[in-house]
Amino acid sequence: METKAIRICAGTWNAGGRVPPADLDIDGWLDTAEPADIYVLGFQEIVPLNAGNIFGMEDDQPASEWENLIRDALNRVRPRKLKIVSHSDPPSPSKFKQSEEVSYSVEDMFVETSHDASDVIHSMDKKPSSNEGTDRPIVGEDSLTNIDVLGSTDDNTSCLPIQDYLPRQFSSPNTPNRSLSVQVNSDSQREGRFSYTERVVLRWPEPPLKLLNQYVSERSGSFKSVSLTIKNLRKPSYVRIVSKQMVGVFLTIWVRRSLRKHISNLCVSTVGVGIMGYIGNKGSVSVSMSIYQTPFCFLCSHLSSGEKDTDEEKRNDDVREIHRRTQFLPHSSNANELPRSIHDHERIIWLGDLNYRINLSYEKIHELIARKEWQRLVEYDQLSREMAKGNVFEEWSEGTLDFAPTYKYEIDSENYIGDDPESGKRRPAWCDRIIWNGKGMKIFNYRRNEIKLSDHRPVTATFLAEVEVLSPRKLQRALALTYAFIQGHEASPDF
């Protein structure tokens, strides 16, 4: 095995149920000035947590709006192309083979250029440079979005390949995102209320080639040729590999286009810990995947609220329940070797509105914020205390909290709730957190972003994570030595 490093940008944001304007600038949150290989983005309250959204049909329109923003932001990026430290550029055995489970894109029918096929690999000891080679991004209204997969199901832990129970229906709807969708039966609308696990087939943003004529002809006022459409479809810098919503919790993962062939064993699990301990107004969405030969787990959660100094116990209980009930049940020939629980993975990133508060008075918190005495505030931060005691997230890590608490702000304002006497008092807190577990990960950026859309400020963490890559050259050498040994042993006289 060879060891390489990939750059992961993780972001969390409680959107407060607000739909983003089309011109919202999220480049700072995504840290597009230093493009990552993988973007793991989690939202909480992506829809308002009212009775209709909690118990009724799931509203996925806000998620679609957020994905359009993310897609546009990422595909304005010109990702750098760095040299691989290794002298070989081996294809991964996790590269998808032709099978009925894989949805192929238009661009996969063309031979990639050498710079398209190269891998962006970063040194663990050196920050990547921003002035090396690039891909040309695809930008504009003619871009197709990803195929959306809406899971089924009952409250269970079944993990079936999606096409085993979902009919495929390709369409070209007259909507701003022009997405291709996979439709399911009416039972699917209650999927997000409880806990379940599903196997997810990777899907890419382009339609099958045979549908392009239909796609172009159906578009009102379109005079573009099929060849021009294909050209525009070929070069998105990033593609979405999975998105999953459970009521207000939403997790979406995007990867650099040339990295997608090295991602496999994708599985999703949701756990509701809200009303009655099972409803999805609070809970987690988790994704398990292999990047090259290394298993990763990404979790987005929204834990119980409450400002009392003892309410951290409720949040601790939520974390324990999520650990206990999150299960990945992969269906493959090597299923027994794949991770089934959170801690079966070698690298784990957990992000979200964890809702832990600061055990100080309103006045004292504001006094320390005014003086930017972040370390003094950390001493009274519930999550930091609970982790230090080993009561929750034992052996997990977090970056340095050297920024102001991210909650609770007046909407479209720099003022915390309570700065205005008429709005009532609410103690500021670092509710929005990103933590990790596992060796081979380094965090080098942990910060908040000053987007004023909701009562929370979004948070970003950037990691360099080691991954193991199988080297065909070394494997071939080992097989040759083994073969030579066997041949020599068989040729030896038997006395």
- Residue 39, pLDDT above cutoff 90: yes
- Residue 79, pLDDT above cutoff 80: no
- Residue 317, pLDDT above cutoff 70: yes
- Cβ-Cβ contacts under 8 Å for 263 (sequence gap 6 or more): 94, 202, 241, 255, 289, 290, 291
Asked if 103 and 144 touch (Cβ cutoff 8 Å), the reply is no
* DSSP 8-state assignment for residue 341: S
pLDDT given at position 186? 35
Confidence class for position 424, pLDDT limits 50, 70, 90: low
Tell me what the pLDDT averaged over the chain comes to: 76
pLDDT given at position 107? 38
- Residue 330, pLDDT above cutoff 70: yes
pLDDT given at position 429? 98
β-pairing verdict for 294-302 and 347-353:
parallel
Residue that wins the pLDDT comparison between 409 and 111: 409
- Residue 431, pLDDT above cutoff 90: yes
pLDDT given at position 404? 98
- Residue 295, pLDDT above cutoff 50: yes
Nearest to 102 by CA among 259, 266, 227, 224: 266
Mean pLDDT of 195-216: 51
- Residue 78, pLDDT above cutoff 70: no
pLDDT given at position 103? 33
Give the separation between CA 489 and CA 169, rounded to whole angstroms: 58
Residue that wins the pLDDT comparison between 337 and 186: 337
Nearest to 353 by CA among 388, 327, 315, 317: 315
pLDDT given at position 232? 55
* DSSP 8-state assignment for residue 409: B
Nearest to 140 by CA among 74, 29, 232, 223: 232
Condensed to tens digits (0 to 9), the pLDDT of residues 84-107 reads 444 344 444 443 333 333 333 333
Residue that wins the pLDDT comparison between 251 and 58: 251
pTM of the complete model: 0.73
pLDDT given at position 494? 56
- Residue 206, pLDDT above cutoff 70: no
Mean pLDDT of 340-354: 97
What CATH fold (topology level) applies to the domain 2-355+431-491?
A: Deoxyribonuclease I; Chain A (3.60.10)
Asked if 120 and 258 touch (Cβ cutoff 8 Å), the reply is yes
Condensed to tens digits (0 to 9), the pLDDT of residues 129-185 reads 433 333 332 223 333 233 333 333 333 333 434 333 333 333 333 344 433 333 333
Mean pLDDT of 404-411: 97
Angstrom CA distances, 495 to 486, 490, 492, stand at 18, 13, 9
pLDDT given at position 381? 98
- Residue 476, pLDDT above cutoff 80: no
pLDDT given at position 337? 80
Angstrom CA distances, 198 to 20, 330, 361, stand at 29, 8, 44
pLDDT given at position 389? 96
Give the separation between CA 151 and CA 363, rounded to whole angstroms: 47
Mean pLDDT of 367-386: 98
pLDDT given at position 379? 98
Condensed to tens digits (0 to 9), the pLDDT of residues 257-268 reads 999 999 999 999
pLDDT given at position 478? 66
Residue that wins the pLDDT comparison between 230 and 411: 411
Mean pLDDT of 277-290: 96
Condensed to tens digits (0 to 9), the pLDDT of residues 45-71 reads 999 999 999 998 889 999 999 999 999
pLDDT given at position 201? 52
